[in-house]
Chains A and B, each alone.
Chain A
Amino acid sequence: MTPAGEAWRRFRKHKLAVGSAVVLGLMILAVLFGPLFWTVPIDEIDFTARLQGPSLAHPFGTDDLGQDLLARVLYGGRISLAVGFAAMGVAVTVGVLVGAIAGMSKGPVDVALMWVTDLFLSLPQLPLLLLIIYLFRDALADLVGQELGVFIMIVAVIGLFNWMQVARLVRAQFFSLREKEFVEAARALGASRVRIVVQHILPNALGPVIVAASIDVAGAILAESTLSFLGLGFPPDTPTWGRLLFDAKDNLDFAPHWAIFPGLAIFLTVLTINFVGDGLRDALDPRRVQ
């Protein structure tokens, strides 16, 4: 059996993970292609339909300006998922780089890099995120435009605060792999250092990294929603999930649906990603044999 087939066999055993993968897949499809079928604009103001509960015309109800919440939730999902995956990409890239350098070098470089990693682990992330966004938001918005500027900044900052776990995992993997016979054989055949890392060590270290990466997506989505919920993420007219909750929180008594649908969307996304990550751990992490 191929390694991928073996992993798939183990992943399938985790029923909740398989179910979650299906639900997550459906949600990604809905967010990507939903706006093609549900063509109500996200910013169509209709004062005759303010704060309405779910109905056929508006399945998720409307907000205080009569804007359709289903359209807004679908649009917000695109942003949340894009931020989640992009920030994960940043985190994994930085983490693999730092971990690989630390894992291949002995002595002072390794010590220094691990000190920086531990330092980042003890940074108060949310206050720093708020500080950085507060200081740099306007400058970046002038440079590349409001929405794109905030997107780049949020992705970069969330990514730069989440690479530490990956770096530690990669370093630990490198430490054990670089002493293995097949690496020694490659070295004896005259393979360069870069070739040894890229061709021989890295592919074998990927399992735990994929697991950590899936959890990072959930963490990044949560972080972005938290920022938006505090009113400090994307500009107010961009309906991200967190922003919808921020707007809804003063109308809880007469429009609970306004908060419930975006909140459920965040919850379901994060929950399914976490379950898929758990399933991937069963499938890919050989240390956890059950």
Chain B
Amino acid sequence: MAQYLLRRLLIAIPSLLGISVILFTVLALAPGDPFEELATNPAIPPEVRLALRASLGIDDPVHIRYFRWLTSMLQGEWGFSFVSRVDVDQLILQRLPVTLIVIGSSQILALAIALPVGIMAATRPYSIFDQVANTLAFVGFSLPTFFTGLLLIMLFSIHLDWLPFVYRAQIDATGWQWWWEHIKQSIMPITVLGLFQGAAWTRFVRSAVLDVVRLDYVTTARAKGIPERRVINRHVVRNALIPVVTLVALQMPAVFGGAIVTEQIFRVPGIGSLLISAVLANDTPVIMAVTFVFACLVIFFNLLADVIYGWLDPRISYS
């Protein structure tokens, strides 16, 4: 098991390096010179400007600059935020837990919808239930998250006045009250993300189960007199989940995209809304670092998918 994990980690390293090359290329190609202001300032002689450039290594060859940038990124030296004058890694560490909680709960909600609905639909193909579920799934992933979010705010915050539409990090309450307030303000962001993903996954689960249900070994299991419920749960679902895990891992970038939008709508103080405010405020170090963190998260979830894959499919040996 440990060896399998290690091998997967080693495979992940080239992708991480590839992503870092792409990030650096984008940055290096970007127009604009940090010394533009100094260049037009007549009080500063050109020799001083050139000496400054040399001391910061701006004129070095590209590959040297890349390695210097990569080592400082890996050592956690992400610089200062131009706007809030705080270390970028501090800022991100503060914001990351909220994002992970929102994304995690919404994925659980999505699975809780997609698994039962997808399995039910696939075991009764072309029934009324299947057709309704299929149509609703199409509606679900055609509704952009920002529109569902606004619709939910209109219904539950403005019309019914049940839920708050601004997420507050600080809540002046203790005990149960504190939990209740947190749950109440998390419901809408989690629902928006969860429904969107759940709709997409329902279709994955349905088609995967439909592929497996027709196989001979399922017929054999039925012929042996195993109850239908047990055939589905034990024999069909486990095998059907293998392709689903791959598809879910492929969806992770889209999930993070949805999380950024949702955080922005409900003003959830996570790294997604941090990214947007940094872009609007031209806060380059923060933009860089958040993009890098999102890249690492995607790689991490791909790794997680690999582990689950190995657990689901005994043919993939750990050793």
- A residues near B (Cβ < 8 Å) are 16, 115-116, 118-119, 121-128, 130-132, 134-136, 138-139, 218, 222, 225-226, 229-232, 242, 245, 248-249, 252-253, 256, 259, 263, 266-267, 270-271, 274-275, 278
Contacts and interface: CB of A to CB of B under 8 A. Distances in A.
Contact of A245 (B18, B150, B260): B150
Interface string B13-38: 01100110011001100111000000
B18 A127 contact: no
Contact of A127 (B294, B299, B302): B294
Interface string B237-256: 00000000000001011101
A226 B182 CA distance: 27
Nearest to B151: A263
B214 to A, nearest CB: 12
A248 B153 CA distance: 13
Given A249-B150, A266-B144, A226 B280 contact: no
Interface of A is mostly: helix
A63 B231 CA distance: 58
Contacts of B260: 126-127, 230
A-B pairs, 7 with minimum CB distance: A126-B257, A124-B294, A271-B142, A135-B30, A263-B147, A139-B31, A127-B291
Nearest to A249: B150
Given A230-B264, A249-B150, A128 B26 contact: yes
Contacts of A136: 30-31
Task: Kindly state the interface size class of chain B when it binds its partner.
Answer: 35 or more
Contacts of A122: 15, 19, 252-253, 295, 298-299, 302
24 contacts: A116-B18, A123-B19, A124-B256, A124-B291, A125-B257, A127-B294, A128-B23, A130-B291, A131-B23, A134-B287, A135-B26, A135-B32, A136-B31, A229-B146, A230-B261, A230-B264, A232-B279, A252-B150, A252-B153, A252-B154, A256-B154, A259-B150, A259-B154, A271-B142
A267 B138 contact: no
A227 to B, nearest CB: 10
A155 B65 CA distance: 30
Contact of A267 (B14, B32, B142, B250): B142
A118 B19 CA distance: 11
Interface string B166-191: 00000000000000000000000000
B62 interface: no
A16 to B, nearest CB: 7
A253 B26 CA distance: 41
Contacts of A130: 275-276, 279, 287, 291
Given A124-B298, A131-B291, A252-B154, A226 B253 contact: no
Interface in B124-153: 135, 138-139, 141-144, 146-147, 150-151, 153
A267 B143 CA distance: 5
Interface centre among B19, B146, B264 (most CB of A within 10 A): B146
